[in-house]
Amino acid sequence: MDKENDITNDFDENISEEELLEELDKNSRTRNFEGIPKLIVRALCVGFTLYMILINTIWLLPPQVHRASFVGLIMLFVFLLYPINKNKNRKTNHIPWYDAIFAIIGVACFFYYAFNFETIARAQMTFTTIDLVVAVIGITILFISCKRVVGLPLVIVVLVFLAYTWFGRFIPGQFGHAGFRFERVFTFLFYTTEGVIGIPTQVASTFIFVFMLFGAFMAKTGIGQFFIDISNAIAGKATGGPAKMAVIVSALGATISGSSVANVVASGSFTIPMMKRMGYNKNFAGAVEASASTGGQIVPPILGASAFLMAEITGIPYSQIALAALIPSILYFVTIFVAVHFEAKKKRLLGLPPEEIPKAWPIILQKGQLCLAIIAIVVFLSIGFTPTRSALYAILVAIAVSMIRKDTRLNLTRFLEVLESGARNSIIVAVACATAGIIIGVVTMTGLGMAFVSSMLSLTYAITNDAIRMLVVLILCMFASLILGLGIPTTAKYVIMATVTAPILYMMGIPLLAAHMFVFYFGVDADITPPVALASYAAAGIAKGDPMKTSVIAVRLGIAAYLIPFFFVFNPQMLFIDATALGVVQLFITGVVGVVCIAAGLSGYLLRPMMRFERLLAIAAGLALVDGGLLTDVIGVAVLVALVLFQKFFSKDIGIPA
């Protein structure tokens, strides 16, 4: 028996997928309602969704009123739906008295601003005592809600930034500042568009909300099962078919899931047991799902909803950001796909039995029309529609195509369930964005961003070689992004990275889009990076494997996400920046070959098992090819050809074990 299969893991062997999702994904830790209370909760959620559609289409409110009312209603749902912890207050139809008070106060604080917006605006930053009290209570309630639905890591990060507004006066050197009065800090963060109701909340209340509603419509039509079935039909019979199917399902499922953990549980509950049954080690099976599901956050056009934030923060058109993510995301999934292929070859694993593999055409004829909504959203975006308008039109397409067949049709009950899901799915992202907005406010107030830039440049001042200096800065920013992204939702991660680390890279002369994509990638990588690797832990729970070993293997499988950002910084053509058609084609072809070499070297298999020096040569050839330069491509191709010839003609003859 494989020694790794004897490892005792930290999870209960009998834990269900639903319990695992509640354990690691706070979006699933909601109260239970039945009967009339359930109908009331549904009515509130449906009303909220309809209100958000209204203020995003017809009833255009001032930005401050739009965002404050959005956050206020989100506060209501936080304390209505989420208990103080996963093991407490889960009795059916029970809301503790203190949560009722928190909900009322939270709504009151943000609607106080919404209703008094014009008076506050006319006061020109002169605030009354009542204004100050409302701001302090409102931000406190926001922290409580963030701790409850997002988690402690984000709260700690934001509190550190908030403390800096006071303690910065005691810090010598470039990180010090003159200090800010208590009332100045809270009123600035609460009442201006540089804090709680800043850019992150703007994006959450417009683009992200509408795209999550689109995802809810797609999920209800059954497109998730369609992705599983079509992936099974495509890859099921191939060598190591179940693992390849997991990669395809996770890549496709990115369009309807904004969470690595949710993606792991949704597809992993089906793919991981199948991988284990076909002979994959349980830790490897979990790692495949974790790395593939995490990769869903970097797949265009949505990029885990962070593409919308990136567009607002950088001013770069959304369509350009989605296009820039195309080649890196393909290279990422190619790496995982070939890695599982080499693992299957190494262990001589076969595909699924023919009787378990569905036919592709019947699946396409039965549910293929559901993909028209995804195609529609890409078309609408490409012809210049705004993301909000594109998503709304795509929702209409999704409704229309769902009516074609009875089993996908959205009747009134299912339609109301979708509207309810749209409201529920937006809660965590909304709270994370509103809380992360405080970081932007603090950086704006204190000039902390420029202090970080100056400090980083000072650390590398002694390095005279520009390329080496750039590499050192990139590595430092990589570690900062990985650390700051631990245990935090994708959108909040990106807000932190965009505020703290991306300006450093931009000041170093890196193109703005490349700088933001760099830190975004490493924020996403945190979901599989030990020790806080939520996606890996979820996958390990399903596979009954060891979480830490699963995380390590997931990092190996997803190695492209750790390497490619360095390459597109030094060669921005990979992101279609100042690109030529020939240059992009060359980069794509050599990039694909390069990541195959890297996967082979890390897996220890190409045409047959590889010796250590062969693995090192394969990795070196891969790095040279992914670099994209003409000289490095020639070197990489030469090494690869030599390696293939050696494996094909010589290794057998000299007795190297296959």
255 located within any domain:
no
Residue type, 339: A
Q: In terms of C-beta density within 10 A (0-12 exposed, 13-18 middle, 19 or more buried), how is residue 492 classed? A: buried
Range of the domain at 605: 590-658
pLDDT at 253 over 70: no
- Number of Cβ within 10 Å of residue 2's Cβ equals 10
The DSSP call for residue 221 is: T
Looking at the domain assignment, is residue 633 inside a domain? yes
In a domain, 637, yes or no: yes
**Residues 124-139: tens digit of each pLDDT:** 778 899 999 999 999 9
The reported pTM is 0.83
Residue 642 lies in a domain: yes
How far is residue 305's CA from residue 494's CA, in Å, rounded to a whole number? 10
User: Is residue 46 domain-resident?
Assistant: no
Rounded CA separation 184/187 (Å) = 5
d(CA 308, CA 520): 12
For residue 468, is it within any domain?
Answer: no
| Residue 653 scores a pLDDT above 50 | no
Per DSSP, the residues of 509-536 read T--HHHHHHHHHHHHHHTTTSSSS-HHH
- Give residue-wise pLDDT tens across range 371-402: 888 888 888 877 878 888 888 888 898 888 88
* pLDDT in the model for residue 138: 95
Q: Across residues 204-216, what is the average pLDDT?
A: 86
Q: Is residue 81 assigned to a domain?
A: no
Residues 6+ apart with CB under 8 A from 93: 32, 33, 34, 35, 37
Whether 623 is in a domain gets the answer yes
- φ/ψ of 655, rounded to 5, equals 85, 15
∠ CA 229-231-235 to the nearest 5 degrees? 125
Percentage of the chain exceeding pLDDT 90: 24
* Alpha carbons 120 and 133: distance in angstroms, whole number: 14
Q: How far apart are CA 83 and CA 94, in angstroms?
A: 10
DSSP secondary structure string for all residues of 435-499: HHHHHHHHHHHHTHHHHHHHHHHHHTTT---HHHHHHHHHHHHHHHHHHHTTT--HHHHHHHHHH
**Is the Cβ–Cβ distance between 401 and 372 less than 8 Å?**
yes
pLDDT-based confidence at residue 651 (cuts at 50, 70, 90)? low
Question: How many domains does the chain contain in total?
Answer: 1
Which residues, in sequence order, are CB contacts of 485 under 8 Å at separation 6+? 493, 496, 497, 522, 523, 524, 525, 526
Ranges 168-182, 274-288, 339-353, 514-528, most confident: 514-528
Could you tell me if 391 and 377 are in contact, meaning their C-beta atoms sit under 8 angstroms apart? yes
